[in-house]
Chain A
Amino acid sequence: MIPKYYEFQSSAKILSGRHALENLPSELKNLGAQKPMILSDEILEKIGTLQIVLDALAQGGVSEGGIYTRIPADSSLQVVHNIAGEYRRLGCDSLVAVGGGSVIDTAKGVRMVLSQDVDDLLDIWGCENLSGAVRIPFAAVPTTSGTGSESTLVAVIKNEARRLKMEFISYYLQPDVAVLDVRMTQTLPPRTTASTGMDALCHAIEAYTCMQKNPVSDAYAMGAIQLIVQNLEQAVKKGKDPQARLAMANASMMAGAAFSNSMVGVIHAIGHALGGVCHVPHGDAMTILLPHGMAFNHRVLKDEYARLLYVLAGEETFINTPEAARGKEAIRQVWLLRRRLHALCGLPVRLRECGVSKSDFALVAKTAMNDGAMIVNPREVSYEDVLMILEKAY
């Protein structure tokens, strides 16, 4: 069904596959960038992943504006301001982010400070409240296949002083270029591959079912789910398989584009709260909560879940399942995938495995209720509902 009104934007140019990184210099030139600042983290620098990108840039004749690798696991307001200062001092003209969600979100923060010409990100904190000011060319090179940050309009930045995670949503946060190159993800350990892959699956499923869904985001979400179902287990079993890795990178990007435009719901709201209160890694939280959140929403999403069964389990299962039971069967398929991943690499399936205590539930539920994702969940969620989902996932 077409919504009465919707908006969709996915503006990042995708460079995917063989020699994708080697084509980055020409893309930067197309964007008018001559002196990019490279953002990454110390681990990627240490294991040589960053060097692959630097080699490609050097070979393409791009001058180095500066390299900043002291980005923490959670993007931080202070780091964003430091990098923006460095960028101005060194006279850089563009940004290249090489890393996972944290590095790319940090780059988005820096881009906001620079392009909106503000000294403090707090001045522009909000949702769809930015206007296009100074254009800063920005390329994202993801090194995980999960967050989809290379194609999203969302950035989460930690404010240490106020001890909160600030969420920014704006179409101006989408990178200009996203580079999907298997050399960036081949070294990911199986457990991380599984966890980030489940995060991407959760993005796609919630994107397909949230209130902002629309025909275009549906197409991206369906495509992403299909790629994940066909390739995630192979990527976990055989990390060097370039086909599986490239498919997962594409799936993550597509799921990111989907949820950027239709948003995510109760599963992410509780997942964010579990991350903030109990420090549960985001991918693990998504893995654990996904079937429980789907079961909670099943009452209002029977038809949507039934349609998902086709991509989750294939044509044969879809045809052989009675129409009325397809929604529940889709949830069961997610459950089975999770169980197989648990057997393959020990992916956690219960909150108790992640060090969560029942005494944290009240604070987690209170935090989740104030998460922006709650508003677009198709079923009304109460504080008691969140507690019930947490109990079931424990």
Chain B
Amino acid sequence: MEFEISTGKKAGSFIKRRISRIVLYVLYGGICELYSLDSRVKDEIDSWPEGMTYCLACSEKGPRLFFRKSQNQLQRLNPRIQRYYDTAITFRSLDGAFDVLTGKMGIAQAYSAHAFSLHGDIGTAMELTRCVDVVESYLFPRFMTKRILKKVPGKETSTLLVYARILIGALRGAYTPSAEEKKPYHIKSMHKKYEES
């Protein structure tokens, strides 16, 4: 028998789930746009092998972002279809993910607080976290980034331009997920949990 969830927690969880889904979308848009606008993000992504697939999951049953590198650009994958990845960061709770996605906590702080588990190579996760740190420096206001990042990376372009490009990208459907399952760089069977659930 499952525990019955209180109405307050249920409503809070619903809101956090919705907001997390939106932020994951904007985060992906930020990574995509900064790939062509910021040399640090470009260098990181260029170093990923073809087909490198990441999964960022806000808890086991929460919203998930799948994306992979494909022909020198990023491709968003449909979390309902895609099961396999090379590296996955899975937050232990929706609340932990919400804190990170809304700028209350940085990735390093979340790692220190055991807020997520990692499936796959820690090195590839480090590459992604460096990208996310740069993206956060554009998407979040400075008072937030000063609190959550050990050192705020300098900007190579304006935040306004990044947001404008994300908006245009969203309008022209640039972040529409692929309709089919894609092969990651190293096919792993670590995603059994999601298949089962």
Which residues of A does B touch, CB under 8 Å?
3-7, 122-129, 164, 166-167, 211-212, 263, 369-372, 374-376, 378-380
Q: How many Å lie between the Cα of A297 and that of B109 in the bound state?
A: 17
Assembled-state Cα–Cα distance A164/B108 (Å)? 24
Question: B87's closest neighbor in chain A, by CB?
Answer: A126
Complex Cα gap A359–B108 (Å): 31
- A123, B116: Cα distance in complex, Å: 18
The verdict on B114 contacting chain A, using a C-beta distance below 8 Å, is: yes
Among candidates A127, A128, A375, A380, residue contacting B107 with C-beta atoms closer than 8 Å:
A375
How many residues of B sit at the interface, in one of the four size bands? Answer: 20 to 34
Q: Is B165 an interface residue (CB 8 A)?
A: no
B164: interface (CB < 8 Å): no
Question: Which one, B108, B117, B189, contacts A129 given CB within 8 A?
Answer: B117
Report the minimal beta-carbon distance from A277 to chain B, rounded to whole angstroms.
14
Chosen A-B contacts, 26 in total, with CB atoms closer than 8 Å, are A3-B112, A5-B113, A7-B114, A122-B188, A124-B190, A126-B117, A126-B119, A126-B122, A126-B190, A128-B116, A128-B118, A129-B118, A129-B190, A164-B123, A211-B108, A211-B111, A212-B112, A370-B123, A371-B123, A375-B129, A376-B108, A376-B112, A378-B150, A379-B150, A380-B149, A380-B151
1/0 per residue, CB under 8 A from A, across B73-84: the answer is 000000000000
Could you say which residues of chain B place their CB within 8 Å of the CB of A3?
112-113
Interface residues of B in 92-135 (CB under 8 A from A): 107-109, 111-114, 116-127, 129
Measured between C-beta atoms, what is the minimum distance from A147 to chain B in Å?
A: 19
**Which residue from chain B places its CB closest to the CB of A128 in the assembled complex?**
B117
Pick from A5, A123, A166, A375: contact of B190, CB under 8 Å: A123
A375 touches B111 (CB 8 A): yes
Q: A4-B113, A164-B121 are in contact. List 8 more A-B contacts (CB 8 A).
A: A5-B113, A5-B114, A7-B114, A127-B122, A129-B118, A375-B126, A378-B150, A379-B151
Residues 158-197 of chain B, each 1 if its beta carbon lies under 8 Å from chain A, else 0 = 0000000000000000000000000000001110000000
Interface residues of B (CB under 8 A from A): 90, 107-109, 111-114, 116-127, 129, 149-151, 188-190
User: Chain A binding site: helix, strand, loop or mixed by DSSP?
Assistant: loop
Residues of B contacting A129 in the complex (Cβ-Cβ under 8 angstroms):
90, 117-119, 190
Contact of A371 among B116, B119, B126, B129 (CB under 8 A): B126
Q: Which residues of A lie under 8 Å from residue B109 when comparing CB positions?
A: 211
Which residues of chain A are near B129, meaning CB under 8 Å? Answer: 375
List the 9 closest A-B pairs by CB distance, nearest first: A370-B123, A380-B151, A372-B122, A380-B150, A127-B118, A211-B112, A126-B119, A128-B117, A129-B117
A369-B108 in contact (CB<8A): no
Interface centre among A3, A212, A370 (most CB of B within 10 A): A370
Q: Which of B113, B123, B190 contacts A6 (CB 8 A)?
A: B113
Assess whether A126 is in contact with B120, with CB atoms less than 8 Å apart.
yes
B124 proximity list for chain A (CB < 8 A): 370
CB nearest to B109 among chain A residues: A211
Q: Residues of B contacting A380 with CB < 8 Å? A: 149-151
| Residue in B closest to A214 when the chains form the complex, CB atoms | B112
- In the complex, what residue of chain B is closest to A7 when comparing beta carbons? B114
Q: In whole angstroms, how far apart are the Cα atoms of A211 and B112 in the complex?
A: 6
Bound-complex Cα distance A167 to B118 (A):
11
Residue in chain B with minimal CB distance to A213:
B112
Q: How many angstroms from the CA of A122 to the CA of B129 in the assembled complex?
A: 22
Q: Is the CB of B151 within 8 A of A370?
A: no
* Inter-chain contacts of B111 with A (CB < 8 A): 211-212, 375-376
Residue of A nearest to B96 (CB): A5
CB distance from A45 to the nearest CB of B (A): 34
Residue of A nearest to B116 (CB): A128
In whole angstroms, how far apart are the Cα atoms of A369 and B123 in the complex? 8
User: How near does chain B come to A172, taking the closest CB pair, in angstroms?
Assistant: 12
Q: Are A125 and B120 in contact (CB under 8 A)?
A: yes
Residues of B within 8 A of A164 (CB): 121, 123
Closest to A118 in B: B189
> Which chain B residue lies CB-closest to A300?
B150
Considering the chains assembled together, what is the distance between the CA atoms of A167 and B125 in angstroms? 12
Complex alpha-carbon distance, A376 and B116, angstroms: 14
Alpha-carbon gap, A378 to B108, bound state (A): 9
Measured in the bound complex, the distance between the Cα atoms of B123 and A6 in whole Å is 24
Which residue of chain A has its CB nearest to the CB of B119?
A126
A123-B190, A370-B123, A379-B150 known; A128 vs B114 contact (CB < 8 Å)? yes
Q: A167 contacts which of B119, B122, B188 (Cβ < 8 Å)?
A: B122
